[in-house]
Structure formats: structure tokens, C-alpha cells
Amino acid sequence: MFEPTLHQYDSQDWDRLGPSSHLSWDELACHDEHSTPYPRDTPEGRVEASCLSIEFEWVRHLCGDVPIEIGSAYRTLAWNREIGSTSSSQHVKGRALDIYPPKGHTVATLLRIVRARSQMSGSKLRGIGEYRWGVHFDTRPQTRLARWRGGRVRAEVA
Ligand SMILES: [Zn+2]
């Protein structure tokens, strides 16, 4: 079975590359003017980053091991407010990714894959938003899956 390649916290790979083999700190950083880094050094941050990267690596794998472009990941509260998103956004907690359909996929096929991943045993994927540009998913701490269809035009605010 597929095993995502995760980087150990405090290892060189974790520091230099990111929480897993295909997710970097650059991709996870906020899009504000300072490119505020993902809060990876707090106890919560390391757990959330690992958790999110496992789900990302699985989705990437199920898409056929293809590169997936990320529209938005971590957001500071200030940036989140600036772009008009809700303060309860999972992006502020570092638990969400907005992803675009990779090569060979549409929003519909990507959505099916994200949903399939959420139903696999051990998955912590608990939020799925469908948008015209792609899919938002998050690892909110709850047992039920939250699903919605959004009208946000750009990934930055979903
Ligand atoms: Zn989102």
C-alpha cells in the first residue's frame, strides 16, 4: 500500500523542504506581503502540518502521482480578514489547502478523489469544498465530514 513520505520533525528535510516529500514550506506560506511562514514550530503547527501533508500526499497519489498546484494554504488572521474570508477559516489554523485540478483532471474528478480519500480508514480529511477553480480540503477536528459548494471566484478566499 502507498505510504506517504513524511519528514521527521526537527530533521534537516523537515526544516529545508517541508512536512512531506511533495509539500514545501513555500507552498504552505501565507500570501500576504511578508509571505508569513506556516507556524511550523509550535506544537500545534507541527501536528497540523504533518496531518495536512499526509492528506495532500494521498490525494496527489490517487490523482496518479502528478504535481498539484496549491492556490492557498496557511493564512494569518489579518490576511484572512483582508481577503474577506471568515475568521473561523481552517486556513488560519493551518489545516486547509485549496488545490487546482492537476494535469489530466477536472474539478469533478479531483473532487471524487478527495471524497474517496476522506472515506479511507485513517483519513483525517473532514472538510471538502467544491469550487469552479478546484477543491478546498481541510483536516478540521470533527468526526463528520463537512461538504459544501462555494461561489468564491478565486482560490485565495475559499
Ligand atoms: Zn480553502
Could you report the per-residue pLDDT of 96-143, keeping only the tens digit for each? 999 999 999 999 999 999 999 999 999 999 999 999 999 999 999 999
Residue 155 lies in a domain: no
From CA 108, how far away is CA 149, in angstroms rounded? 12
In the numeric block, the cell 478565486 is attached to 154
From CA 47, how far away is CA 40, in angstroms rounded? 9
Better-scored residue on pLDDT, 96 or 157: 96
Residue 7 lies in a domain: no
CA of 94 to the centre of ligand 1 (A): 10
> Above 70 in pLDDT, residue 153?
no
**pLDDT score for 155:** 65
Residue 49 lies in a domain: yes
Residue 2 lies in a domain: no
**pLDDT score for 154:** 66
Residue 154 lies in a domain: no
Give 24-77 pLDDT, tens digit per residue: 999 999 999 999 999 998 999 999 999 999 999 999 999 999 999 999 999 999
Residue 6 lies in a domain: no
CA of 72 to the centre of ligand 1 (A): 7
Among residues 53, 44, 70, 59, the alpha carbon closest in space to that of 6 is found at: 53
Number of structural domains the chain divides into: 1
CA of 113 to the centre of ligand 1 (A): 17
From CA 155, how far away is CA 93, in angstroms rounded? 17
Pairing between β-strand 135-138 and β-strand 96-99 as defined by DSSP bridges: antiparallel
Residue 99's φ and ψ, nearest 5 degrees, are -120, 145
**pLDDT score for 10:** 87
CA of 91 to the centre of ligand 1 (A): 6
CA of 75 to the centre of ligand 1 (A): 10
**pLDDT score for 157:** 56
Structural domain that includes position 121: 12-149
CATH number, domain of 70, equals 3.30.1380.10
Residue 40 lies in a domain: yes
> Above 60 in pLDDT, residue 94?
yes
Pairing between β-strand 146-149 and β-strand 135-138 as defined by DSSP bridges: unpaired
Q: What is the pTM of this model?
A: 0.94
**pLDDT score for 87:** 79
